[in-house]
Amino acid sequence: MDNHKNKPGRGKSKIIGENQKILEYEHDSLKFERDFKTQIYADVKEAIKSNNEQIQRASKEYVINMVSDQKFLDAMLSVIAVSSKSPELKEEIKTNLVNQAINQTEDSALVQHLALKTKHLNLKNLQESTSVSPDLIDIEVFYCEETHATSKLKAEKIIDLLKATNKYNVRSLRILSEIKNASPGYNIKSNVIRYNAADTYNETKYASDIQKIISANGIDITTLTVEFPTPWYLSIFIY
């Protein structure tokens, strides 16, 4: 009988113990993050005090590669930019901050696209259809940052060409940053139309049609299939 009465007490103690472990883990995690940011800030201050552009560049790259907290990263880069005496480094960091803002929206572009299409169209009928009209196809054109002097003009020309067909839903021109292009799944080094050939939305046909339009106007471009499903969506990258 006594053992039976003691069971609830032991259960309560166990819960308290588990909660205590969770609190200790959260405390240690917060302390680690705080100490890490303190050290990063100290390193940045040392780089600024050095008045050495090479050291400040190294600090910039270190911060970019090590810091995942976007607000803290932006703050540290801004500190380096404001304090550096190098106009080139200031401009590089300014460009980097702009590209980061762009990258934050790049990854969500396809998700937003799919959400809008699913909301406004009858998805079931589209999946069963063997033919999807061009006006349901969204086209997004990117130009590569590292070749922007030439790629941006070509990308603008392509947008004008596609809009002139009055067929497709052509979105506004976008930039593919160097950082994003270096990440897995990109590595764009030539002009390419990317699409998914395993779906039922006629993307293979439209990719081929668009390639012909672009090639006929003096811009070499190839097509490339991607494994990730992208219904009603084609992306064009200009290098």
Hey, what are 155's tokens?
A: 């990308």
10 Å Cβ neighbour count for 103?
Answer: 15
pLDDT, position 97: 72
Distance (Å, whole) CA 239 – CA 225: 18
216 in the same domain as 168: yes
H/E element holding 131?
none
122 in the same domain as 151: yes
143 in the same domain as 78: no
Report how many domains make up the chain: 2
10 Å Cβ neighbour count for 4?
Answer: 7
Give 202's contacts (C-beta < 8 A, 6+ positions apart): 131, 132
Residue 98 lies in a domain: no
10 Å Cβ neighbour count for 237?
Answer: 24
pLDDT, position 74: 79
Distance (Å, whole) CA 22 – CA 120: 44
78 in the same domain as 8: yes
Residue 111 lies in a domain: yes
Q: Smallest Cα–Cα separation from 181: which of 146, 224, 152?
A: 146
pLDDT, position 235: 93
The parent domain of residue 125 ranges over 106-238
72 in the same domain as 10: yes
User: Which amino acid, residue 172?
Assistant: S
60 in the same domain as 113: no
Residue 101 lies in a domain: no
Residue 120 lies in a domain: yes
Residue 37 lies in a domain: yes
76 in the same domain as 113: no
Hey, what are 92's tokens?
A: 């590089």
Which residue, 19, 51, 85, sits at the end of a domain? 85
Instruction: From first to last of the 239 residues of the chain, give the pLDDT tens digit.
Output: 555 555 556 666 666 666 666 666 666 677 777 778 888 888 888 888 888 988 988 888 888 888 877 778 878 888 888 888 888 888 888 777 766 655 554 455 555 555 555 544 444 444 444 456 677 788 999 999 999 999 999 999 999 999 999 988 898 899 998 888 887 778 899 999 998 876 666 788 899 999 999 999 999 999 998 877 677 789 999 99
- Are 169 and 135 in contact by the 8 Å Cβ rule? The answer is yes
Quote the pTM value: 0.50
